[in-house]
Amino acid sequence: MKRYLFAFLLIFGLGNISAQGLFESAVQSSRGDDVGGLIGGFVRGSAYGAGEQYDFANVFGEVSLTTNLKKDKFIMNSDLRFRRGFNFDCPNSSFEVKEAYAGISTSSFDLLLGEQIISWGRTDGFNPTNNITPNDYFFLSANPDDQKIPNFLLKSDIRLSPGVKWEIIAIPMFRPSEYRYELFRMGDNVRFESATLPDNAIKNSSVATKLDFELSKIGFSVSWFNGYDPFYGFDLSNVDFETGSPVITNQPSFYRKNSFGADLAIPVGSWIIRGEGAYNLTENEEQKIYIPNSDISYVVGLEHNFWGFTAIMQYIGKYTLDYKALVEPLLTDPMNPLAIIQYANDMAIFESATFNRKIFHQQEKTNHALSLIVTKNFAYETVTAELTGFYDITSKEYMVRPKVTWKIGDALEAAVGYSYMDGPDKSVFSYASSIMNGAFLELKVSF
C-alpha cells in the first residue's frame, strides 16, 4: 500500500505541472523583475561552553553561502555551510548542506525536490504536528534553528485559493534526529552504541500532507503523516555480565507511526490564541520498549503584549493511550544464581523501558508542562532581550535561557546568553545539564 501511495504522490505532483499552465507567465521578484541569481550569506564566530563537563562544548567559525535563483517558472535555493572548530573538546571540520533544492513555481502550483527544511505548526517551540524535520539536539549555539536537519524530499504546494493551500510531501529516505547520549554520565554500566538505519527502500519512505487555511480572522490546518518518526527511542541490545555486574548497551531504534494533526491561530483583540495537537498511532509497543504508546499530544498558547513586553505562554500536554505503569522486578530467591541472573536481566529491561518513557514524556498517563517566552526591544529596536522558560510539572524538570541580541550595524549582529537546565536525579535534564548548561556568544556579519 505504501509503495502505491508514494508512486501516486509522484505522479500526482508531476501531472499537475501541465494542469497549472507551466509556461503561462514568469516568476517575478519583489521588484517585478526576473532574478538571474542572488548570492548572500554570513560569516560568524560562535562559542558555547563553560559548562560542568566541557569547557568548549561547541566553538566554531562558519561561512554560509546562500544562492537564490528565479528564472521564468524555475527556482533554486541553496545554503552551504563551511565550519571549523571544536565540538565537545574534539577538533571538528565539517561541510553542511543546510538546504539545496530546485523546482518549478507558478501562481497556483510549486514542485520542489532536494534537501529541504520543513516546519509545521503554529505554536512556539513545541509542535506536535511537526514530524518531518529531524534535529541535531546536541549542536549548541546561540540560535536553536541551527539544530534543524534537512530531509531529501519532494514537496508539492497546490494553491486552491488565495487563502487555501494543499501541501504534499514525499520523503523517500529516512533521516533521524541526532542524539549524543553516550556523553551522559549515567554510570559505567550504561552504554550507547551507533544506530542501524532502515534500508533505503520505498517501503521505508514517509508521506505527509497538510491542508492549510490562512483566512482574515483565523489560520488553521489539518495534516497527516505516515512514516518513521525522527524522534526515536532506544532498544536494549545487550546485557554483559563479564565484569560481575550487568553492563547495559542501548541502541537507537526506529518506529513508524500514523499521525493526524491540526493547528490554529485566532486573533482576539490584542491577544492571539494558538493551539496544536496530534493523534499519534503506533503498533507493537507492548513487545518493543523503544516504541511509545499511542498518544494525544497538544499545546495551547496565548500571546499578548504587556507594557512593551511580548509574552507567549503555553501549556504542553500529553495523554497516553492504553497506559500501564511499569512494575519494578523483585528478587524472589537471592540464594539462587539463576534467579539472580534473571533478576538482573529484568532490571536491565525495566531501566531501559523507564528511560524511553522519560524521553517520550509518557511517565504518567497524562503529562503536563508549561513554557514562557518574553521578549522586549530596546534602543530603537537595535537590542532585543529574550527570556525563555520551561517547567515540566510531571517530571519536575526545568530550563531557563536568557539571551540578548544587539544589532550593532546594518550587517553586524551580536548575541550573548546562558542556558541552564536541571531536574531530579536520573531525569533526562539532570543527565543533560552537565553537557548542555553553559554560556554562549556569537558575532555574525551578513552580506
* pLDDT tens string 289-299: 999 999 999 99
Name the least confident of 32-41, 155-164, 188-197, 320-329.
32-41
- Sheet order of strands, 233-240 included: 190-192, 247-253, 233-240
> Is it the case that residue 440 has pLDDT exceeding 70?
yes
Return all residues near 338 (Cβ < 8 A) that are at least 6 apart: none
> Does residue 97 carry a pLDDT above 90?
yes
Whole-number percent of the chain with pLDDT over 90: 77
Q: What is the mean pLDDT of the chain?
A: 90
- Domain positions in the chain: 2-446
**pLDDT tens-digit readout, 387-405:** 999 999 999 999 999 999 9
For residue 33, what pLDDT is reported? 45
- At residue 189, the pLDDT reads 83
> 222-244, pLDDT tens digit by residue?
999 999 999 999 999 888 877 77
Whether 206 shows a pLDDT value over 70: the answer reads yes
Pairing of strands 438-446, 35-49: antiparallel
Q: What are the Cα distances from residue 345, in Å, to 85, 191, 252, 341, 351?
A: 42, 15, 19, 6, 10
pLDDT digits (tens, 9 = 90+) for 304-315: 999 999 999 999
- Nearest to 154, CA basis, from 291, 7, 300, 264: 7
Beta bridge partners of 39: 67
Beta bridge partners of 74: 71, 104
Q: Check residue 2 and give its pLDDT.
A: 43
2-446, CATH topology level = Porin (2.40.160)
Give the pLDDT band (50/70/90) at residue 36.
low
Q: Are 42 and 411 in contact (CB under 8 A)?
A: no
